[in-house]
């Protein structure tokens, strides 16, 4: 069996309330108040609340809240989105309202582009690539190089120029309610910039037409793709809220196998790497995906960064990396994990703590089928820690670390070197969390007022 791969592959107060008092009084499912805001700002100008996770540290996360009319855009096409983003070096606050679904694989006129369009003129063909790097003749000790690898890289670069959207500092990107707002086949790249907000968007099927074969990855090699739906690389103060991430449109079960390994066209859904820091990810839905969230791209990343808060998210039909954590201080609270197989995606693990990561997993809820052992919910390399309590499995309080350690030789540590304090909205009672979050997470829930 191949070994698992771990390669890359405000302060204005915002309130999100599902009133416990109203629920207790017997109100119906529709009785929920979303986005009440003490200052009365609309959805597009909202900022991260005080003490709402790591992204509220310091000056907090305000995104484009101070944008003037010249830097406020409504976009419905790929070309309009590119124009609204402007230069990645720009610093003027900007608000980008996404209306409807943007297909990243289109040209400036809106014409649909295919993998064949990106490959045209590069000399790349899958059949030639497979012939050139067949392990039976090429071997398994070195990465592909030569004519076909250069052609593959050139084709991949053509696709990247079309589907990678580079986000500048001080930007809010938010979906317009009621329009099925989102991006299909694209990647938001938040790299070496500060103060970005991403809300109310559906990110679907971010597909790499040209995965690279790596015969040295794992015991039997792996196909690795290049794009995440949202990627943070050296970014700071980022708030991702009420988004939906999914492979819908192209589930992995439809991928062929070459050299006996899955031809994987998807990478991460939301990856936080390259010493990114001060990030809050809340009220999102992550569904039907394999390598979902990477926190830290290398075991050798420097310490002091990768401080991330994940709360009130749903993880459903996720194979692994929910998240995989390295090096940093990561608080995971009030999340719901449904690890029942879905759309061909079956659990490998939920949370992985490695490379001395300091994770606090607190008051989360797992729904686990009877066929799955609780020891499979965590993973690690023997150097990471997972502290915390109040985690429920099928409604019963469960010591996840003890279950994992009893079944594995590389033990997960149970103490951390920090104490979470930025814990707005932390709920101590989580038995009803699956029902509550099903109504209040993901894209399409937020209202404009």
Phi, psi of 277 (to 5 degrees): -160, 150
Q: Which residue has the tokens 């991330």?
A: 308
User: For residues 337 and 347, what is the distance between their CA atoms, to the nearest angstrom?
Assistant: 11
7 is a catalytic site residue: no
Task: Tell me the longest C-alpha to C-alpha distance in the chain.
Answer: 70
Q: Which two tokens stand for residue 192?
A: 């070496």
Q: Is the peptide bond before 323 cis (omega within 30 degrees of 0)?
A: yes
Residue 188's SS3 state is strand
Measure Cα distances from 360 to 49, 84, 147, 284 in Å: 21, 38, 48, 19
Cβ neighbors of 150 (< 8 A, separation 6 or more) are: none
The alpha carbon dihedral of 259, 265, 270, 274 has a sign of positive
Structure tokens given for 258: 């070459």
Q: How far, in Å, CA of 214 to CA of 217, rounded? A: 6
Three-state secondary structure along 352-420?
EEECCCEEEEECCEEECCCCCCHHHCEEECCCCEEECCCCEECCEECCHHHHHHHHCCCCCECCCCCCC
Q: Among 94, 321, 326, 354, which one carries the catalytic annotation? A: 321
Residue 405 DSSP label: H
Report residue 377 as tokens. Answer: 């919910």
**Residues in a beta bridge with 324:** 294, 352
Residues catalogued as catalytic: 321
């Amino acid at each position: 069996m191949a070994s698992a791969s771990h390669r890359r592959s405000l302060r204005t107060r915002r309130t999100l309330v599902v009133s416990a008092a109203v629920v207790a009084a017997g109100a119906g499912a529709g009785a929920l108040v979303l986005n009440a805001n003490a200052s009365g700002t609309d959805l597009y100008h909202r900022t991260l609340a005080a003490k709402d996770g790591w992204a509220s540290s310091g000056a907090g996360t305000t995104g484009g809240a101070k944008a003037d009319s010249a830097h406020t855009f409504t976009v419905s096409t790929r070309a309009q989105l590119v124009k609204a983003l402007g230069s990645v070096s720009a610093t003027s606050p900007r608000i980008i309202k996404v209306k409807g679904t943007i297909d990243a694989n289109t040209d400036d006129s809106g014409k649909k582009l295919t993998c064949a369009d990106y490959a045209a003129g590069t000399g790349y063909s899958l059949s030639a690539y497979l012939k050139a790097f067949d392990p039976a003749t090429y071997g398994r000790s070195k990465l592909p190089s030569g004519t076909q690898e250069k052609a593959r890289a050139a084709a991949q670069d053509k696709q990247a120029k079309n589907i990678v959207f580079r986000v500048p500092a001080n930007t809010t990107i938010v979906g317009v309610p009621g329009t099925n707002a989102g991006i299909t086949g694209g990647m938001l790249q938040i790299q070496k910039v500060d103060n970005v907000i991403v809300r109310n968007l559906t990110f679907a099927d971010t597909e790499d037409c040209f995965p690279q074969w790596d015969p040295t990855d794992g015991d039997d090699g792996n196909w690795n793709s290049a794009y995440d739906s949202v990627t943070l690389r050296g970014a700071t103060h980022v708030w991702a809220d009420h988004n939906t991430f999914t492979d819908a449109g192209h589930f992995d079960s439809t991928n062929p196998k070459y050299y006996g390994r899955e031809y994987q066209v998807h990478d991460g859904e939301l990856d936080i790497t390259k010493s990114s820091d001060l990030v809050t990810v809340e009220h999102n839905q992550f569904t039907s995906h394999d390598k979902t969230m990477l926190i830290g791209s290398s075991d050798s990343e420097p310490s002091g960064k990768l401080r991330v808060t994940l709360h009130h998210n749903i993880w459903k039909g996720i194979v692994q990396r929910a998240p995989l954590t390295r090096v940093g201080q990561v608080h995971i609270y009030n999340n719901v994990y449904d690890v029942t197989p879905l759309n061909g995606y079956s659990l490998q693990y939920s949370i992985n703590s490695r490379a001395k990561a300091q994770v606090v997993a607190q008051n989360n809820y797992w729904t686990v089928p009877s066929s799955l052992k609780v020891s499979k919910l965590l993973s690690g390399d023997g150097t990471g820690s997972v502290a915390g309590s109040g985690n429920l499995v099928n409604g019963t309080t469960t010591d996840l670390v003890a279950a994992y350690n009893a079944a594995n030789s590389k033990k997960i540590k149970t103490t951390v070197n920090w104490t979470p304090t930025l814990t707005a909205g932390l709920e101590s009672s989580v038995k009803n969390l699956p029902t509550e979050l099903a109504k209040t997470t993901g894209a399409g829930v937020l209202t404009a007022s």
